[in-house]
Structure 1
């Protein structure tokens, strides 16, 4: 698949000499190849290489990138950067310089791409957000506020990428290093002044954000996720903590609402401001006086020095108050005056950014909400946010991802039973796992026997209540069943996929958009009272 970032590259570039690059990064030029050439951009995927590119050939899980160097050169690449093994694989008659790194070129790819493109991140006000849950929402709120302050903004994240008014879908939460630097250079050309960016743990571990030092880095929370990649919580935490080092950020804002946030504040190697929404907890910035406001909440944000503002978020739930407060705090810690921020928030009716697939309300009678909640903590929080405003029954449709952290599956099942009145266990992205096996592991956490259709008792304030548990697959059928069975006062939460439009089953991509399926089910409620939005 060709990267969409092939379409967002700077139109004008400055030629850099390979010989200068070799000196700057301590590289050698392989014997038998030309000694110099000009490069104008960087590609790490031969399929997106263009004339003037430096092709960086890194070792992969299945093949070495050097095996594709000839194709990159045929597409116009004027030089290749690789390791010693890659240099051996590249034919001696290659007509371009071959630079050799002593280590995996991936480790210097970000810095090399930044150098070739003139360090574009240095010309932007950059805000990076990490954590398990809330990255997307926080970056959208950041972008919303920065634009309200009059800045031309850029956004990079799970749902989409924006350069000013240019918008494209995202393939990765955080782009690969060469794509990222090209995108930042294009933003510079578009006269973008600010950047709100999600920074995933995979991106930190895989050097994707190398070459960027964020002006302000933010931390949301840490819950069980991605342990298939990191192995354990400590490794996961250590990877996130790398964002709060001088090589990655100048300043940080850390939410202290969980113990991992407290630890992050302790280990951070850059100056940090702390934030909490919890009563009685000591922090630099504190959220108080949370009250319902429209579909979301109003709140007051106060610094220990007395600075204060009151604003609101249109998204429901206490965790979205935390996300909104983090966005505001990051902007303030980035140097904006609290009076300007207060005025901008007032003019924009608070933080009212629409975040695709994040507590997105599709109908109100019954209320149908699509959310990206795809781990235990996120599922618990989403259900807890919807419970107080649900006068009827609260139903949830969800599944667990195949080939990803199987340990969380029964915990997700248990969370669904604790939070909902009707539970539909279905498929998420099975990938290469047997979907029925994944569903069974989720069902195992929902109660006795884990049978496909049953009634279980869930603890509720010291008592118990009955919860209906059903296994329904495929996912479109589960969404339809839940919505058709709902009464006008009920809420149906379709959780786990949010904005995603493709479901992968056994290596094959199938079109599937929870929002499309939900709207189709709503349209099928012939003769039943409903209100779509």
Structure 2
């Protein structure tokens, strides 16, 4: 039976408190007391007694939608205030220079600062956030804690799904979610924290007990002008001078960016190393079974612990070490956390699809050059045969990584099938051409690699599956757990795992 937790009554803020918190000016000063208990960005979802935060959009300013909103107060910037004046808005308006700058702290206050009542562990980095978060969720639950999870594959409270849209929800949604978790008796929250969330202030107003850093490689250069800018965004989570920094920093120093991040974090950082560097948390005696499952020794500040890891890949050893180190920094029992990690399964991350075939078939979320390289290197170490890699690049995202993705696949696979992967608003053929360019340039100096362009993703998967022989491996990269293909604004159902399974079944039936 589900435990029943007593919900503490939330104390609504009055209008003047919100004005003081925001530091804004007021248009239409209220004539009577106004109590505010909710805040949000969606004008259609707000009840009376709420604050509508009207932000500038890429095409339309949020203030445009205020007229149909039932909120009692509107929080906006100067451009939004001009729109509201023209519309002869009579409700109280709080005007600030930049809504995002104060949205986090204001939202936290409206929901009674729920993160003060939770132990929140945030995980950031280019790759490994989701897997590390899953490991932490399993481990902390095994250690006896009631756990919330917020990340790429969704939000859960002690294993039960909660609907959300973004990896890191916008500040009002996030703080409301934290408040719900407090009401549900959650003690610990595991959260993926993206660079976008840090720069856009989505986690401002949240008090993190621990921040974990996995690694940094090329991604999101459509949002960050340079890798250095990308690093600086992540560093907001670790730099003691940043208002968004966590109380304790845990940093994997396997790459040079990690070494640099540990320096930013300062003397109190807990460093994790799995490749021989000196650190407070290290791995040794790694053993890999025929199935890819691993066993290793983790030394945490001088004490050795045995870890069983059901996931393949050296990078997953690093993810597990980071997860355990973060749990340790939060005061959890390391051996209990390791027991939980022994039971972990992560959808769409090195997920094996088995229909009785005599070759390996794997679906993975790898959609960055570094991640593709890691996944293919991991598979190469586990098989005696050849590798087919199915890859594609997303539209409306960092275009500079596309040829690099093609090149990294050709360096490691024997057969590279280049296909579509969420082209969004771009022309799919143009995206493929950039990936093909990198692949064919690398192909000129890499003998024996076949490259094929198959635009239809289903056909691309079938092509790779039909190519495989006993002892080979087919690795379908890019979508992982995702179940949609976004084309020209329409999201079509598409699940790589379903497609690989169907292709395997079709192959088996045709061979009878």
User: In the alignment, what sits opposite 2:4?
Assistant: none
1:270/1:50 CA distance change after superposition, 3 Å: farther
Structure 1 residues without counterparts, runs of 5 or longer: 1-9, 451-455, 460-464
1:91-118 deviation line (CA, Å, top 9, x unaligned): 57545322122x2111111110100111
Are 2:226 and 1:232 aligned? yes
Are 2:56 and 1:56 aligned? no
User: In the alignment, what sits opposite 1:499?
Assistant: 481
User: In the alignment, what sits opposite 1:394?
Assistant: 387
Are 2:352 and 1:361 aligned? yes
Aligned residue among 418, 428, 431 for 2:424: 431
Aligned residue among 239, 248, 252 for 1:251: 248
Segment of structure 1 superposing worse, 412-421 or 77-86 = 77-86
Normalising to structure 1: TM-score of the pair?
0.89
Aligned residue among 67, 73, 76 for 1:79: 73
User: In the alignment, what sits opposite 1:5?
Assistant: none
Aligned residue among 461, 477, 481 for 1:479: 461
Which whole-Å CA distance do the structure 2 matches of 1:434 and 1:87 have between them? 38
Tell me if structure 1 keeps the 8 A contact 2:21–2:106: no
Aligned residue among 169, 178, 183 for 1:175: 169
Are 2:88 and 1:98 aligned? no
Are 2:264 and 1:271 aligned? no
User: In the alignment, what sits opposite 1:112?
Assistant: 106
**Aligned partner of residue 381 in structure 2, secondary structure:** helix
Tell me if structure 1 keeps the 8 A contact 2:28–2:92: no
User: In the alignment, what sits opposite 2:448?
Assistant: 466
**Aligned partner of residue 370 in structure 1, secondary structure:** strand
User: In the alignment, what sits opposite 2:494?
Assistant: 512
**Aligned partner of residue 223 in structure 2, secondary structure:** helix
Segment of structure 1 superposing worse, 13-22 or 406-415 = 13-22
User: In the alignment, what sits opposite 1:212?
Assistant: 206
**Aligned partner of residue 186 in structure 2, secondary structure:** coil
Aligned residue among 417, 433, 442 for 2:435: 442
Which whole-Å CA distance do the structure 2 matches of 1:486 and 1:127 have between them? 42
Are 2:343 and 1:352 aligned? yes
Which whole-Å CA distance do the structure 2 matches of 1:287 and 1:528 have between them? 46
1:170/1:351 CA distance change after superposition, 3 Å: farther
Are 2:318 and 1:335 aligned? no
Paired residues for 1:23-62 under 5 Å = 23-31=20-28, 34=31, 36-62=33-59
Which whole-Å CA distance do the structure 2 matches of 1:165 and 1:50 have between them? 29
Tell me if structure 1 keeps the 8 A contact 2:377–2:412: yes
Are 2:304 and 1:308 aligned? yes
Tell me if structure 1 keeps the 8 A contact 2:171–2:201: yes
**How far off is 1:458 after superposition?**
6.0
**Aligned partner of residue 298 in structure 1, secondary structure:** strand
Are 2:271 and 1:289 aligned? no
**Aligned partner of residue 388 in structure 2, secondary structure:** strand
Normalising to structure 2: TM-score of the pair?
0.93
**Aligned partner of residue 406 in structure 1, secondary structure:** coil
1:442/1:129 CA distance change after superposition, 3 Å: same
Segment of structure 1 superposing worse, 506-515 or 115-124 = 506-515
Aligned residue among 135, 141, 144 for 2:138: 144
User: In the alignment, what sits opposite 2:17?
Assistant: 20
Segment of structure 1 superposing worse, 112-121 or 435-444 = 435-444
**How far off is 1:522 after superposition?**
1.6
1:114-146 deviation line (CA, Å, top 9, x unaligned): 001110011111100111000000011011100
Aligned residue among 495, 503, 508 for 1:526: 508
Paired residues for 1:144-163 under 5 Å = 144-163=138-157
Are 2:194 and 1:200 aligned? yes
Which whole-Å CA distance do the structure 1 matches of 2:39 and 2:266 have between them? 31
Structure 2 residues without counterparts, runs of 5 or longer: 1-6
**Aligned partner of residue 17 in structure 2, secondary structure:** helix
Which whole-Å CA distance do the structure 2 matches of 1:344 and 1:511 have between them? 36
**Aligned partner of residue 237 in structure 2, secondary structure:** helix
1:192-230 deviation line (CA, Å, top 9, x unaligned): 111110000111111111111210000000000001110
Which whole-Å CA distance do the structure 2 matches of 1:269 and 1:55 have between them? 39
Which whole-Å CA distance do the structure 1 matches of 2:507 and 2:162 have between them? 34
Superposition RMSD on alpha carbons, in Å?
Answer: 2.1
Which whole-Å CA distance do the structure 2 matches of 1:170 and 1:355 have between them? 18
1:219-259 deviation line (CA, Å, top 9, x unaligned): 00000000111010111000000011342210100010111
Which whole-Å CA distance do the structure 1 matches of 2:101 and 2:388 have between them? 46
1:343/1:156 CA distance change after superposition, 3 Å: closer
**Residue correspondences, number:** 499
1:285/1:344 CA distance change after superposition, 3 Å: closer
Tell me if structure 2 keeps the 8 A contact 1:394–1:421: yes
User: In the alignment, what sits opposite 2:411?
Assistant: 418
**Aligned partner of residue 479 in structure 1, secondary structure:** helix
User: In the alignment, what sits opposite 1:242?
Assistant: 236
1:22/1:152 CA distance change after superposition, 3 Å: same
Which whole-Å CA distance do the structure 1 matches of 2:137 and 2:24 have between them? 39
Tell me if structure 1 keeps the 8 A contact 2:292–2:382: no
1:37-69 deviation line (CA, Å, top 9, x unaligned): 111111112122223221111122212211111
User: In the alignment, what sits opposite 1:489?
Assistant: 471
**Aligned partner of residue 291 in structure 1, secondary structure:** strand
